[in-house]
A = this chain, B = another copy of it.
Amino acid sequence: MHGYSATKNEYGKRMRRIEGQVRGIARMIDEDVYCIDVLTQVSAVTRALQGVAIGLTEDHLSHCVANAARSSPEEGEEKIQEAAQAIARLVRS
């Protein structure tokens, strides 16, 4: 059981929609669609992925991190370090 288990289906749907958008961009490139229109779609997919990442981070804090913090300060701190590194990767990407 992980943070996102309760909303797993919702994330599954969002990822399949993103997969369809990525396939759509590949098709746009194949059909020589105007560069700017391709770029607009790439920005949209990037934002959709960030939305998934933000949701997963929140679920992870609510479950794994909060449980670890209640279990012991050491376990809490370990999970928080790990979460902070994942957040840093998201902020910097």
Contact = CB atoms under 8 A, between A and B. Distances in A.
A61 B66 contact: no
By size class, the interface of chain A is 35 or more
Give the secondary structure class of A's interface.
Answer: helix
B29 A89 contact: no
Given A25-B15, A26-B19, A43 B53 contact: yes
B89 A40 contact: yes
Interface in A6-60: 8, 11-12, 15-16, 18-19, 22-23, 25-26, 29-30, 32-36, 38-40, 42-43, 45-47, 49-50, 52-54, 56-60
Interface of A: 1-5, 8, 11-12, 15-16, 18-19, 22-23, 25-26, 29-30, 32-36, 38-40, 42-43, 45-47, 49-50, 52-54, 56-62, 64-66, 69-70, 73, 76-77, 80-84, 86-93
